Every structure is written in C-alpha cells, then in structure tokens.
Structure 1
C-alpha cells in the first residue's frame, strides 16, 4: 500500500521520493493540469493555503513531473518551514529542469540552513554558473563561504553583490560586516555595522551580529548597549539573551549569566527560521553555555548534566551522529597506502623558495592548538593562518589533479608514473595559491612579509602522510593533551570535525583513539617527517622553554611577544577565542578529575591511547 512519503511533502511515496525520472507522464497530461495549478496558485496567493495545497497534491498525484505544480508546492513547504520536504521538492524541480535558477538557489538556502555546507556550496556554484550576474547567487555563495571558514573568498562574492545591485542594502552590509569580523578586521566590520544600522536600525540579525563583534573584540560595555537596543525592538529574544549571558560570563558574572539562560527555558526563538527552543526546554547552545558556566562555579555534576542535555538536544535537532563506518574506512585506506615500502617509491615535493612556508599545528579539537597558534603568530616572522581547509580540499581534488581514476589516498599511486613525478609540486602549488587567495600572510604596504604561516585545522594529523609528502621541510607540531581533559572539553562544546564524532562522549573517545593509532602508524612508516610532539601541560607549566623549543624547531629566534599571546590582537576563529585573550592559566589542566565518574564509560576505549602518550588516571 502506498502511504504518505516520510519526507513530509504531503505526497504518496510513489509520487514523491519513490518516483523515478523515467516515470514521465507526458507533455499532454502535464499541460491539461495547468488550469488546476493556476487555481491552486490563486488560492495560495489569497491566503487559502490548505485549499491550494489540496489542488497541488491532486495535480501531482496525476502527474508527479508537473513542473509548475512541483514549484508551487516546494515554495509552499518552504514558507511553512518544512525544510526537509521543501528540499526534496526543489531536488525534484532540478531533476526536471537542471538549470532552474530559483530552485537551485532555494535548495542551496535550505541546505545552508541545515548546516550542510558542502552540499549548499555545490548548489551556489551551480547558480553562479547558470547566472554569473545574479546578485542572489553571489550572496548565497558569500554566506556559505563565510560560514565554511573561507571568509576571504566569501568577501569577494559579497562585494560582487554590492557591485551588481548598485545599492548599499543594510542586510548585505551586515553580512559583509560579519564576514570581515571572522577575518579579524574588526574596525572595518564596525564601520559597516554602523552604516547598516543608520539605514535600518532595528534589524534583528544586524543587532545580534554587531553585539557579537563587540563581545569578540572585548568591548563588553558596547556589546551590552547594542543588546539593550535589541531588547527594545525584540523583547526577550532568545539569541540576544544568550549573547548577553556570554558577555556576563566573560566579565565574571556567572550566576547572573545562568539566570539569563534559565529564563529562556520553554521560550521559542523569535527570529526567522524554525524554533530552536520549545516546550522541551533550552536549545543546544544555551545548554552547553550553561554547562560551561556551572563548571567555572565548581558545580560539576550540574555542569555535566547540562552538557549531556545539550548534546542530546543537538543530535535530536540536527540528526547528526558519528559517521563510524566512513571514519573506519578512511583510516583503513590511509594505513594501507602509507607504508614504508610504498612511500619509498614516491617522490617528495621540492621547496618553493621566496615564499612563506606553512607550519602545521596538528591536534584533536580542544587539545590546545589555538594557544600554540596565538603564541607563535605573535612572532613578527609568523602569520596566523587559522583553520585552513586546504589539506581537506586537496584530498577531494587530488584524484582529478593527478588524473587518476582512483580515490584518495590510492590516487597517489599515479606518482609512480614517469609523467606524474612532479605531481606533488603541483599539489604544493595549489595549496600555496589557495592560501594566498585566503589572504594568509597578507601585509600592509611597508610591512615585512612573514617567512611562515600557521595552519591549525583540527585533525589535520589524519592526513599527516600527505602533508609530509607535499611539505617535507615544514614542521608538523602535534599538540597533545590528557585525553580525558580533551573529552571533557569536547563534550562541553559543539564541533563537527572528525566525522561528527563529538555528538556523543563514546564516539569522541573512539575517534580520538583511532587517530592516536593512525599518527603512531605514520611515525613508524615515515620517520623522516619533521614531527614534533608538544604537550599542552608542558606549555602551561614551562611556557618559555616550550615556546623557545618550538621556535628553534621552526628556525626562528625567540621573541618575548610570544609569551604574552593574550595581547595578540588577532581574532581566533575557534571556540577558544575567549580563552586565548586571557594570560596563561592552569585551571584546565587535570579538569577531568572533577568528572572521573562520568568519564568511566570511555576509560576502556582510551586506555591504550593514554598509555601510548604517557598519560594515566592517577
């Protein structure tokens, strides 16, 4: 029996997700339905959504490939905030009309709203191919690239929108301001926010973005003043109150911050898009922030409860879970390819002289990589690159660049061919070119160019073998920390690195153990790699000696500015951005002891990794 489709479109399964493009109804059948579709459109335009919807469902039951009916129903589901169903219908449109700009943009926006950035980017790129002068297409690309940690390229697309539209739209100015903020260009962003608010002083997202800019730039009084304006226009707005709680927490008023968050329980988000909060209580961001505040108040059991609730809520809303099979398969392929016997047959990329060289800061999320980057980038010869997605991008494009029918890493076997011996130089050049496009190492006129730049993308150690082939002279600084401290920090924050492993404590531990084993494999098979392991605990206990050792390995003289990393004015685009604005502290060392009972389930998973790295539970 053909029941309703599970996607929520309202169609029967065989007329929706079970439909095949080969099941075309014929032009005559579709044409005869046009009056029915037009009648439905008139009803919906007059506010009679239910009546119009019935006509559309009837039309599509008769002819699932009736393009005007699919377009009308997709737009209706989008307005109803039924995003999964809308996405299914937009895809149906694109199967019937692959170059339909409106459907391409709508699907891209739907995917962006679900944080499915790589899929959304594919749609945005196709929209620009279809209509290179479409301001909407460039705006979508700017939004996606900014969110995907490629703001420099996103800035190009936002500025294309300004040029194409010929206007200073306040929403666009606010979007560009947020983009510049993520690049650390705070003063430029601030000017754009002021310009946007002069034209449209009560746009919710503009006020929130401006407040978050000022909070990130440590101008807490100004941030609170902006939120005061937001409160007048949008009383008790959930996101504004969360932003206020973050500020209160940063200035030490943690109990007040918790009271603000607790006041959000049961309240629906008043902004655009589906409600993040509801009768079930707080949303994931609120719960995790509350847990971090409780932790600083030494209310550890309450903090862990908030963390666990936040993780469960995030999983329920996003549907994300650890991609266990994909992670295991990738690691197995890497271990199988990167062996001493195979590597002996491979060339190494040569050094590209007269160009800043990367320093790879490797480590599991929350291991202390941001602290190391902030310290090193305070040196005048070292620029901060932040979390560069370039190595991951190379793993995606490497087969095409090397002309291989195989996937990564097996496509590297093309380097055994005589006409591909320079293939690693090509990969090196692509990496360096993309780094330049991202603005890494960009200096003002008259300033000396840096000799190095950092790349601290979390879990780049997964591809340590590839990095060592492309940049054999670059230091590979692997930051390690007590695995249980990492687990506590991973459980108290949201990130999707590592195949979404941090959605649950056990899967974070499993992925961590897998990566520790993989790094040990690389070290055994590639002893020539410039691998340097540094302990977070050693940096905290012996800061100067640790930093001196790192600079010596890099080949730079010691600079005292590296010890006052908290005075480094660059904005760190990570969850640690607030911590690295404080002087070095040791309260995060051994934090796991406060959660010994809650961490008990992952001890068997982590025991081999702890033994290998020299940590214990004493």
Structure 2
C-alpha cells in the first residue's frame, strides 16, 4: 500500500494542474503496486486530463474489477464514459452498480435521468425517488427539479410544485427550480401563482444573463392576459425559435390573424422538424393490412382492473373523451400509456423476429403457441400495475394516440375491451396537429403533407380492420360530442358497460391534470369553438384535401 503522504502529494499535484507529473509518478508507483486503488484513481484522472483517454479508461476498469464494491469507482467510470459521449456504456455501468448495490444513489440518479430522456417517465421518477431517499437533504434537493419535471409530464403538477419549493428552499437562485415552479402553476391553470413564480424566475434570469421570455409569454397566455402575451411575441423576429413561433401562431389564430398565424405555424414546425420516413410508414401500414384473421385470444382476467382504449389521431378529442369517461368513479384515467407499443415488441420477440409481426402472429395457430395471447395480456397488465393502475377502480383508460393501428394485437390480449375511436373533421385535426409540437405518428406532425399522409394511412388501415377482421371500435365524432354530449356519453358508457354518472357532466371540475397540449381546454365546459377551425386556412389546406378525401368521406365530412 502506498504511503498516505505520497498519495496526498499526488493529489496536491492534480489540484495544482500538474497532470503530467502526477501521471508519471502514479504510473511509476503502480508498477510496484498495480492494485492500489488510490493510485489507480489518480492515474486515471491524470491520464484523462492529459488527453490519454484509453489509459484513463483502462485504469478505471481495472479499479472496478479489483474493487467491485467500491461504488465511487463505478461512479467515476460511468461519469468518464458519459463525458466522452458514451452514454449507453455509462448506463450499463450504472445498471450493474444497482444490481450489485440496490441503494446506490448516484447510479439511481443517473438511470432515472436517462429514462426520463427516453420518455420512460414513471420508471425514471422511481429511480430519482430512490436516489433521493439515500442522499443527504441538500443533495436530494438537487434532484428535485428533474423529478418534478417528470411528474409534471405525468400529470402531477401539485407534487411538482412541492418539489420546486423544496429546491428553491435549498437554492433560492436556482433558475431550474424557479422555472419548474412557474410551469407547475401554469399547467394547474393558476394564472396568479404562475405570474408570481415567473417574477422570481425572471429576476434570476436577468441576474444570470438567461432568457425566459417564452416562459413569460406562456404564463400570460393561460389567463385573461393572452393579448399581452401576443403583444410580447409580436416583437419577436420571424426567425425566432420554433416553440415561440408556434405559441405566437396559436395566439394569432385566437386573435383572428389567420394568415400570420399559419405563417408562424409552418415556420415554427420547420425549425423543430424531425424526420418522417414515409417509406417505413407505408411499409408498416401494408404489413398491418396483412394481419391474419381467426387467431386465438386471451381469456379475461377478472382479478385486476381492465383497460378501456381511447384511440384516434392526436388533437382529435381523445383527451376530452378521457376526461369525461374518467370522471366516472369506476374508471381511472391512465393517460398516454406506452404499453401497446411495448407489447408489440414483446409479442414480436416471443413469436420470432425473422418476419414482420403481422406475419409471425399467424404462428399462434400452432398448438404450442396458443398460450401466448395470455402472456401478451399479462405483460400489458403487469406494466399497468407498475404504473399504479391496478387498484382503486374497475377500469382504466389508455389513450395513447394512434393505438388503433395496433387494434388486432389489442384484440388478441383483450378481446372484449372497449375500443373507442375519436373522429374529428380531418382538416380540423390537421390544423391543430400543425399548431403543436408532438412526435406521435412517427414524427408526422412537422409538415402538413406528412400529417395528411399519416392520417389517410391510418384511416385506410382502420377501414381494413373493420371490413376484413370485424374490428369495429365505437366511433365518437368530436363534433357530436361537443354539441350533444348527453347522447354521446350514453353511447360511450353503454360500450364500456357502465351507466353514465352525474360527475361526467362536470368533467371539467376534476382535480386531475391532463398532461397533454389540451390540458387547458379540458378544464373548460364543453364548447364548439374548435369546430370548423380549418375554414380560415382552406387555401393552405387545399393541396392535401385529395390526400385525405377517403377519410373525409368515411367520417361524413366535406371540404
């Protein structure tokens, strides 16, 4: 073992910036003591500082190998990999750390934030909570904003606000925490609290040279001062950021300035654009239309809450329908659950990935595969249990947009589950899709022609399922729902198998927050202001009308 005084001297050299000398001396001493953990750590730090990444990594991996219980060594390796753009490898190290030491806070914090980046919000929040339980209060408070943001996106603005307060109590000048406090109040619809929280965030931003103008406009836009927000945004140049342009476009639309609104919406989407691979999408739709009929399905599991599937294009009214349905005391709102997409991957692995899933699924006709639909069902329900949806109500909603593309798979796992398909005038849907930043539908929402292509393709697939497989969801027209809610809610609840409940008439009074772009609208009583929203944009929409002609006809709409 190397003398403590020698180790102290080497650390002093590192702190003084004498990396070459520290590296040379550490390597010389390692020749005699190759498993000295202090020397290995110093050698790794010095090598990285000197640009020798390969040597630094070798020293860190050797350190982890000889001291597998040294969590600090594993944390050092994970952070080294992360610093050098190897996030997946860093995550693998963190996962191994948790397997070895289930209470390791740094590993939980790292995994939690990685999962949140991948939209695995529930799982990421679980890891952040675990990390916070095993950290001192000051360090736990540093994770509060990250956890709060995940909870905000999961529809928990009150808990997010509490975490913001905790973070601000620990660090009152934290812009991240002040921004979280503002967003939590904004999404709760509390304009006064949002403005107060923003005032603090703005003071921090000014002191640190940061820009929170967009957040300020969002705060004003939620209340009666939306015209003040528009006045602020009108000062922005036309080459402003995509999110700012989309907000300005929505407010200009509200003000009746439709030409300028559409210009902002198109430009904003162009700045935010993600690729839409039309060939890949068409290939998947073609494969889905080959889904075979007469396959074995899973029996009902009466011991656990069951799903109600609310399907449809984004911005077609699915959030509104979920808010109404989940106002019933026997139905819990699940929101946009990722389980069907996960089930698709799970089923494909079980059936064989050598061919597309709609081909592989025919293997269920073989007797030794007859049990697999029950596994599909249990996989989905296990994920629901992980999300806390298995108790407190007989049913829960799954309103992930475009789940209708996977309706045949859903029917294998849940042959009797209610399928509710929201349908809205395709041109109204497309205008609303264009006005918001969303990645549903393979990123179709960034260009009008891509969104129209996707809407038309989904409509064709759903029609094929109805005609060929007999899968016929209950169609709920948005226009009928907002103009004759009593009749439509009665139809929906009959399909679900429950009587309507008086609370469903006052769905907008629910304390639940809907974490979607529609969160403000579903806090209002029903109205028809969004019906025929497309008409001021008819000229801009004209080129895509032929693309969605069949969808228009199926819904009984005209353009």
TM above 0.5? yes
User: Separation in 1 of the partners of 2:97 and 2:390?
Assistant: 34
**Are 1:374 and 1:565, in contact at CA under 8 Å, matched by a contact in 2?**
yes
Q: Distance in 1 between matches of 2:255 and 2:313?
A: 26
Confirm or deny: 8 A CA contact 2:78 2:90 kept in the other structure.
no
Structure 1 CA distance for aligned equivalents of residues 310 and 121 of structure 2: 21
Structure 2 residue runs without a partner (length 5+): 1-41, 59-75
What residue in structure 2 maps to residue 18 of structure 1? none
Query: Secondary structure at 1:172's aligned position in 2?
Result: helix
**Deviation larger for 559-568 or 396-405:** 396-405
Other-structure match for 1:26: none
Answer yes or no: is the 8 Å Cα contact 2:306–2:394 preserved in 1.
yes
Aligned partner of 1:322 in structure 2 is 276
1:411 CA displacement? 2.8
CA distance in 1, matches of 2:400, 2:214: 27
Asked whether the equivalents of residues 233 and 244 of structure 2 are also in contact (C-alpha less than 8 Å), the reply is: yes
Q: Is the 8 A contact 1:404 1:414 kept in 2?
A: no
1:290 equivalent in alignment to 2:248 = yes
What is the match of residue 343 of structure 1? 293
Q: Residue 373 of structure 1 contacts residue 456 of structure 1 at CA under 8 Å; is this kept in 2?
A: yes
Corresponding residue to 1:598 among 540, 543, 548: 540
Shift of 1:456: 0.3
Q: How do 1:59-208 and structure 2 match up within 5 A?
A: 67-68=54-55, 101-102=78-79, 104-106=81-83, 124=91, 127-129=94-96, 132=99, 133=101, 135-146=105-116, 148-169=118-139, 170-208=141-179
Give deviations 1:50-76, integer Å, cap 9, x for gaps: xx8xxx6xx9xxxxxx725999xxxxx
What SS is found at the alignment partner of 1:289? helix
Residue deviations 1:97-143, cap 9 Å, x none? Answer: xx9633554578x87xxxxxxxx7x9636631355455344223323
TM-score by length of 1: 0.75
The answer to whether the Cα contact below 8 Å between 2:94 and 2:110 also exists between their aligned partners in 1 is no
Secondary structure of the residue that 2:541 maps to in structure 1?
helix
Q: 1:509 to 1:591 in 2, by over 3 A?
A: same
Aligned-pair Cα RMSD in Å: 3.0
Q: Secondary structure at the match of 2:474?
A: strand
2: CA distance between counterparts of 1:504 and 1:187?
35
- Aligned partner of 2:20 in structure 1 is none
- Change in Cα spacing, 1:509 to 1:156, as seen in structure 2 (3 Å) is same
* Residue in 1 that maps onto 2:263: 305
Q: Secondary structure at the match of 1:235?
A: helix
* Aligned counterpart in structure 2 of residue 248 of structure 1, from 220, 236, 240: 220
Q: Distance in 1 between matches of 2:312 and 2:81?
A: 37
CA 1:125/1:580 → structure 2, altered by over 3 Å: closer, same or farther? farther
- Structure 1 residue 405: Cα displacement: 4.3
**Is the 2:311–2:399 Cα contact (8 Å) retained in structure 1?**
yes
**Cα distance between partner residues in 1 of 2:90 and 2:56:** 22
* The one of 331, 341, 352 aligned to 2:301: 352
Cα distance per residue 1:344-365 (max 9 Å; x no partner): 2x20111111321111001011
Q: How does 1:212-611 map to 2 (within 5 A)?
A: 212-235=183-206, 240-263=212-235, 265=237, 281-315=239-273, 320-336=274-290, 338=291, 342-344=292-294, 346-402=295-351, 405-440=354-389, 442=391, 449-527=392-470, 529=471, 531-611=473-553
Given that 1:254 and 1:297 are in contact with CA atoms closer than 8 Å, whether structure 2 keeps it comes out as: no
Distance 1:348 1:140 in 2: 40
- In the alignment of these two chains, the number of paired residues is 499
Instruction: Determine if contact 1:379/1:559 at 8 Å carries over to the other structure.
Output: yes
Residue 168 and residue 462 in structure 1: after superposition, are their counterparts in 2 closer, same or farther (change >3 A)?
farther
Residues 104 and 314 from structure 1, CA distance in 2 versus in 1: closer, same or farther, beyond 3 angstroms? same
CA distance in 2: counterparts of 1:235 and 1:264, whole angstroms:
18
CA distance in 1, matches of 2:98, 2:503: 49
Give the drift of 1:526: 1.8
**SS where residue 591 of structure 1 aligns?**
coil
Can you give the 5+ residue segments of structure 1 that lack an aligned partner in the other structure?
Answer: 1-37, 46-51, 60-65, 72-98, 112-119, 266-279, 443-448
Q: Which structure has the greater CA radius of gyration?
A: 2
Q: Following TM superposition, by how much is the alpha carbon of 1:208 offset from its aligned partner in structure 2, in angstroms?
A: 0.6
Distance 2:399 2:382 in 1: 18
Cα deviation for residue 409 of structure 1 reads 2.9
* Structure 1 CA distance for aligned equivalents of residues 502 and 90 of structure 2: 48
CA contact (8 A) 2:493 2:499 kept: yes
